[in-house]
């Protein structure tokens, strides 16, 4: 279906009903702007998923919930509680997680390695709302926000009295999930704590996933001063089934013959994380000062058998972060300003011990250590020129310093002609800026436009590679930078809302894997462009029926360039100018409904449909096979009681055979590997609330 036809579908659902819209009484506020701001005053395309939306959704994980929004896709390897799942906003493909900044309560969840966000450490039952700022965030948060920012806001400890909540779910593939949340609050003090557990055999063989999390949050208000204290831990043990291989020239098709099988029955990974932090906030007259300190530690281990050539890797990653910021309201003439000034100081340390077997980890063959220290300084001014016209202007300067070393022990068990990389040091600097405006044509209609520059630094997993002779080396690549332009319109009111946005992102020095060129590893790719349209609408069709829909058309292409390839690759001098970026569907359509069947019974459903997309590693677009288009339908039936809620959920109701990630072989022309996802699944859940 062409883009115009898809757009017509969405328009038919939402636009004819917009004539009766009126300005909402209560303005929605978001915290992803460092200090709370009203959505309708921001010159950006912003979506907010509320607690009510979460309760009504059939989504089981945060990535599933996010993928119901226009312009957001997910790359899921296993379909088991979002383990190894990445989020992509506005068509960056496999590097989407490195270009979409994930925050929890305004603090980074994204790390400086290539591991996916630990989504299960934030169960849906703990989330108050999710704020999605498309194309915005580089000034306020720095690197890694080229496509936008997603801020997950957890439930506040403030409230009244004593409360206890319990959630439990049983589902297909021997899945069991549970959470306890206890809270106490009075006028100036609030505390909550939670414990979460998950276990599932998973759809695939060798894909058992066990997850445990705990959180603690405290808020203490003393007049004009507020103190927030938070702590948490998460633990995961995950079995890794690998891919299903397909190679037509030799009649190999494991996806067709044994889609649930395991290519790697001995592989596994584990992950233990701890975090703590505090924020001190104080009002100084009309100004607001906030100082945040955060510490995070992650310990990851993974074993890969590799057909009898095993590799074991134990990594630790530690972050210490200090983030002071100040908001100063003032006026110049008739213009009212809300100026935010801030700094971000982040110190990352990375230690990777690499050996052949877990029992030899105490004497690793290679030990790679790296540090990445960043200092960022920024300002952003939100200006009310008139009640109808809002402007934003901002600037950020950020510096990163790398140090990296590699120690080789030739006496270690499993040593086989490995080498050590030469020590490396580098300092890089980048700037970000933004200019935007929002103009209200009337009480219900607004226009917005913005432009900005964003950037991304190379991370620790991307700098350690091999040269053309397979010797280890550090490659500290040039920073990636992008210029974004977008414009849009919004129509809001009691009956619903409609939002449309056009965007273009021009990317230079994109940091990406070059799978074909021997001794290159990650590299800076030639220029590329992402452009498209996003449409979202909601409509209260009747007193008991609400309908939402969304559509995104995304055209992601390389503008020029050739991949050199090499003697072991599928080719040499492969042109990519005009080729489509892999793992980016051209069309994505969402639709959902919530139907109140009675005073306490609700039926909700969601449809997600994506067009085909090129596989990872197929930058030349020459494989001849793509990830097929697919559609997923989910339903949820729930009933409220005085003590809580019962729900029945059906995911992938139509039992579609599908996958969201596949990768082309760099060495065999017609071979590729796919990661099948579950068919139809059933789940039953219960929520109990006391009092």
Q: Transcribe 204-246 into DSSP letters.
A: STT--EEEEEEEEEEEEEETTEEEEEEEEEEEEEEE----EEE
Residues of the chain with pLDDT > 70, as a percent, come to 95
Q: Give the whole-angstrom CA distance, residue 236 versus residue 205.
A: 18
Q: What is the mean pLDDT of the chain?
A: 91
Residue 20 has pLDDT above 60, yes or no: no
Residue 74 has pLDDT above 50, yes or no: yes
Place of tokens 């492969």: 574
Q: Give the whole-angstrom CA distance, residue 279 versus residue 688.
A: 31
For 253-272, how does the pLDDT look when each residue is reduced to its tens digit (9 = 90+)? 999 999 999 999 999 999 99
User: Which residues, listed in sequence order, are joined to residue 575 by a DSSP beta bridge?
Assistant: 562
Please, what's the b/e burial string for 61-91 (b: 16 or more CB within 10 A of its CB; e: otherwise)?
A: bbbbbbbbbbbbbbbbbbbbbbbbbbbbbbb
List Cβ neighbours of 257 (8 Å cut-off, separation of 6 or more). none
Q: How many Cβ atoms sit within 10 Å of the Cβ of residue 225?
A: 12
Q: Give the whole-angstrom CA distance, residue 161 versus residue 183.
A: 8
Among 410, 317, 425, 304, CA closest to 366: 410
Do β-strands 100-104 and 148-154 pair in parallel, antiparallel, or remain unpaired?
A: parallel
Residue 518 has pLDDT above 70, yes or no: no
List Cβ neighbours of 554 (8 Å cut-off, separation of 6 or more). 71, 90, 91, 530, 531, 532, 584, 585, 586, 588
Residue 3 has pLDDT above 60, yes or no: no
How high is the pLDDT of residue 17?
A: 37
Supply the DSSP symbol for 422.
Answer: P
How high is the pLDDT of residue 446?
A: 94
For 141-197, how does the pLDDT look when each residue is reduced to its tens digit (9 = 90+)? 999 999 999 999 988 877 767 889 999 999 999 999 999 999 999 888 999 999 999
Q: What is the mean pLDDT of residues 226-236?
A: 94
How high is the pLDDT of residue 335?
A: 95
Q: What is the 3-state secondary structure (H, E, C) of 604-661?
A: EEEEEEECCECCECCCCCCCCCCECCEEEEEEEEEEEECCEEEEEEEECCCCCCCCCC
The alpha helices in 330-427, defined as continuous H runs, are: none
Angle, alpha carbons 72-121-605 (nearest 5°): 45
For 104-131, how does the pLDDT look when each residue is reduced to its tens digit (9 = 90+)? 988 888 887 777 778 878 877 788 899 9
Q: CA of 403: how far to CAs of 115, 358, 425, 460, in Å?
A: 20, 27, 4, 10
Q: Give the whole-angstrom CA distance, residue 525 versus residue 527.
A: 7
Residues of the chain with pLDDT > 90, as a percent, come to 77
What the block records as the tokens of 619 is 């930058």
| Least confident residue range of 133-137, 239-243, 601-605 | 133-137
For 638-662, how does the pLDDT look when each residue is reduced to its tens digit (9 = 90+)? 999 999 999 999 999 999 999 999 9
Domains of the chain: 3-686 (2.40.170.20)
293 contacts 319 by C-beta, under 8 angstroms: no
Give me the phi and psi of 94, to 5 degrees please.
-65, -25
Among 29, 28, 32, CA closest to 380: 32
How high is the pLDDT of residue 27?
A: 58
Measured in whole angstroms, the distance separating CA 137 from the mean position of its chain's CA atoms is 14
335 contacts 392 by C-beta, under 8 angstroms: no
Residue 538 has pLDDT above 90, yes or no: yes
Q: Give the whole-angstrom CA distance, residue 657 versus residue 34.
A: 42
How high is the pLDDT of residue 519?
A: 65
Which pLDDT band, with edges at 50, 70 and 90, does 520 fall under?
A: low
Give me the phi and psi of 653, to 5 degrees please.
-55, -35
Which pLDDT band, with edges at 50, 70 and 90, does 16 fall under?
A: very low
């Amino acid at each position: 279906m062409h883009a115009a036809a898809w757009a017509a579908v969405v328009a038919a659902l939402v636009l004819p009903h917009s004539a009766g819209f009126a300005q909402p009484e209560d303005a929605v506020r978001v915290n992803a702007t460092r200090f709370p701001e009203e959505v309708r005053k921001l010159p950006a395309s912003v979506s907010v998923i509320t607690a009510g939306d979460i309760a009504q959704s059939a989504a089981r994980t945060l990535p599933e919930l996010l993928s119901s929004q226009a312009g957001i896709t997910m790359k899921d390897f296993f379909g088991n509680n979002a383990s190894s799942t990445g989020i992509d906003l506005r068509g960056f493909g496999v590097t989407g997680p490195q270009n979409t900044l994930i925050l929890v309560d305004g603090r980074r969840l994204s790390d400086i390695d290539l591991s996916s966000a630990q989504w299960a450490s934030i169960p849906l039952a703990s989330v108050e709302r999710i704020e999605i700022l498309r194309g915005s965030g580089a000034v306020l948060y720095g690197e890694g926000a080229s496509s936008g920012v997603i801020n997950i806001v957890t439930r506040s400890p403030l409230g009244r009295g004593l409360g206890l909540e319990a959630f439990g779910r049983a589902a297909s593939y021997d899945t069991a999930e549970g959470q306890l949340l206890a809270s106490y609050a009075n006028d100036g003090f609030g505390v909550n704590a939670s414990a979460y557990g998950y276990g599932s055999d998973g759809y695939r063989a060798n894909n058992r996933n066990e997850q445990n999390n705990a959180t603690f949050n405290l808020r203490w208000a003393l007049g004009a001063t507020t103190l927030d204290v938070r702590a948490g831990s998460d633990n995961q043990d995950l079995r890794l089934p690998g891919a299903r291989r397909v190679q037509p020239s030799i009649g190999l098709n494991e996806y067709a013959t044994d889609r649930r099988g395991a290519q790697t029955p001995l592989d596994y990974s584990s992950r233990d994380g701890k975090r703590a932090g505090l924020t001190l906030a104080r009002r100084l007259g009309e100004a607001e000062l906030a100082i945040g300190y955060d510490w995070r530690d992650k310990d990851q281990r993974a074993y890969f058998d590799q057909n009898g050539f095993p590799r074991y890797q134990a990594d630790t990653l530690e972050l210490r972060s200090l983030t002071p910021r100040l908001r100063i309201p003032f006026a110049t003439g008739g213009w009212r300003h809300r100026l935010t000034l801030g700094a971000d100081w982040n110190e990352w340390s990375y230690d990777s011990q690499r050996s052949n077997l877990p029992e030899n980890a105490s004497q690793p063959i290679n030990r790679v250590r790296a540090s990445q220290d960043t200092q960022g300084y920024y300002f952003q001014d939100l200006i009310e020129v008139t009640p109808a016209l809002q402007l934003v202007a901002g600037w950020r300067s950020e510096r990163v310093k790398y140090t990296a070393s590699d120690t080789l022990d030739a006496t270690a068990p499993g040593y086989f002609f490995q080498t050590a990389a030469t020590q490396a040091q580098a300092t890089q600097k980048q700037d970000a800026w933004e200019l935007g405006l929002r103009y209200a044509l009337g009480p219900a209609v607004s226009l917005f436009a913005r432009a900005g520059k964003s950037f991304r630094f190379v991370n620790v997993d991307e700098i350690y590679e091999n040269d053309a002779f397979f010797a280890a080396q550090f490659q500290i690549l040039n920073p990636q930078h992008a210029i974004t332009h977008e414009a849009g319109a919004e129509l809001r009111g009691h009956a619903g809302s409609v939002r449309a946005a056009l965007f273009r992102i021009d990317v230079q020095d994109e940091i990406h894997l070059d799978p074909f060129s021997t001794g290159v590893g990650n590299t800076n790719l030639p220029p590329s462009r992402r452009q498209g349209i996003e449409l979202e609408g909601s409509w209260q069709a009747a007193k008991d029926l609400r309908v939402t829909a969304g559509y995104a058309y995304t055209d992601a292409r390389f503008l020029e360039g050739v991949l050199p390839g090499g003697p072991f690759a599928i080719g040499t001098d492969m042109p990519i100018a005009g080729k489509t970026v892999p793992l980016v569907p051209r069309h994505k359509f969402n639709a959902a409904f919530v139907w109140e069947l009675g005073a306490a019974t609700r039926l909700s459903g969601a449809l997600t449909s994506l067009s085909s997309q090129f596989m990872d590693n197929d930058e030349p677009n020459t494989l001849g096979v793509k990830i097929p288009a697919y559609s997923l339908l989910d339903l949820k039936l729930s009933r409220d009681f005085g003590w809580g809620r019962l729900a029945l959920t059906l995911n992938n109701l139509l039992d579609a055979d599908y996958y969201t990630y596949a990768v082309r072989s760099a060495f065999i022309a017609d071979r590729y590997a796919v990661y099948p996802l579950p068919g139809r699944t059933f789940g039953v859940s219960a929520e109990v609330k006391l009092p």
